[in-house]
Amino acid sequence: MTKLSVNVNKIATIRNARGANNPNLVQVVKDCERFGAQGITVHPRPDERHISTDDVYQISQVCTTEFNIEGYPDARYLRFIEEVRPAQATLVPDPPEAITSNAGWDTVARESFLKEVVAQIKSYGVRVSIFVDPSEQIIEGAAKVGTDRVELYTEPYASGYHQDKVAAVAAYAQAGQLANQLGLGVNAGHDLDLDNLRFLKEQLPYLDEVSIGHALVCDALYLGLENTIQMYLKQLK
């Protein structure tokens, strides 16, 4: 079964709005796992507008599933990976001021940079995933830099799902098949929700993991966190 990694950035955003510790992020992480999540994802941006440096270390002490740290591989990020040794490091090409991830790596133009970073992270015994668009050239480039997995950037799929879901998913199905043929694991994330998740899973038989935060937290406001996680897991079975 495809694993569900819950991105808890939005929980931290709510907490930070009042400057205290409510909701308690560490407790939410424990509860997500207790409710069935098979992983926890964070993206500790330099301005700490949601996940803080302390959060990364505190979560690493309590996470019993797969801890996934996303981010641009600058010195700060690489220090997290070296010291925390999460299960997975997901590399994204975001500049510090970006609101959210909105494009994948150009694995061809940035080949030498990514090769060096991937090798460094793998030397820590950490699995590496690279955030990419569903392009044949980009997937082939990802294989060349030595990554373990690719994470398909699914915002275009989500945007086109309700107009023509078959057309929207076509490039992703092809990318997932090619990645598998090249020996890469396949993750996916961005704007996935209870409407579009099942169809994506059906079209990507090799899908290892999805990372979902914003939609899941929004659903939890109405449905409750435990029920919401179970509903997302059901879409992946």
Range of 170's domain? Answer: 3-236
Please give the pLDDT value at position 96. Answer: 63
The catalytic position among 43, 50, 151, 209 is 43
Please give the pLDDT value at position 52. Answer: 97
- The CATH number of whichever domain residue 159 belongs to comes to 3.20.20.70
Tally Cβ neighbours within 10 Å of residue 179: 27
- Give, as one character, the DSSP assignment of residue 183: T
Q: Amino acid identity of 136?
A: E
Q: What is the mean pLDDT of residues 162-173?
A: 98
Please give the pLDDT value at position 101. Answer: 62
The catalytic position among 33, 50, 190, 209 is 190
The catalytic position among 33, 70, 151, 209 is 70
Task: Encode 85-116: b = buried (16+ Cβ within 10 Å), e = exposed.
Answer: ebbbbbbbbbeeeeeebeebbbbeebeeebee
Q: Into how many domains does the chain fold?
A: 1
d(CA 40, CA 25): 11
Is residue 43 annotated as a catalytic residue, yes or no? yes
Q: What pLDDT, in 10s, does the model give residues 178-217?
A: 999 999 999 999 999 999 999 999 999 999 999 999 999 9
Q: Which of 56, 60, 37, 66 is nearest to 149 (CA)?
A: 66
d(CA 151, CA 91): 9
Among all chains, which residue has been given the structure tokens 């994330």?
189
| Helix locations, 47-205, DSSP H | 53-62, 75-84, 111-122, 136-144, 155-160, 165-181, 197-203
Q: What pLDDT, in 10s, does the model give residues 68-87?
A: 999 999 999 999 999 999 99
Q: What percent of the chain has pLDDT over 70?
A: 97
Q: What element of type H or E holds 235?
A: helix 225-236
Bridge partners, residue 187, by sequence:
151, 209
d(CA 163, CA 67): 35
Q: What is the mean pLDDT of residues 161-172?
A: 98
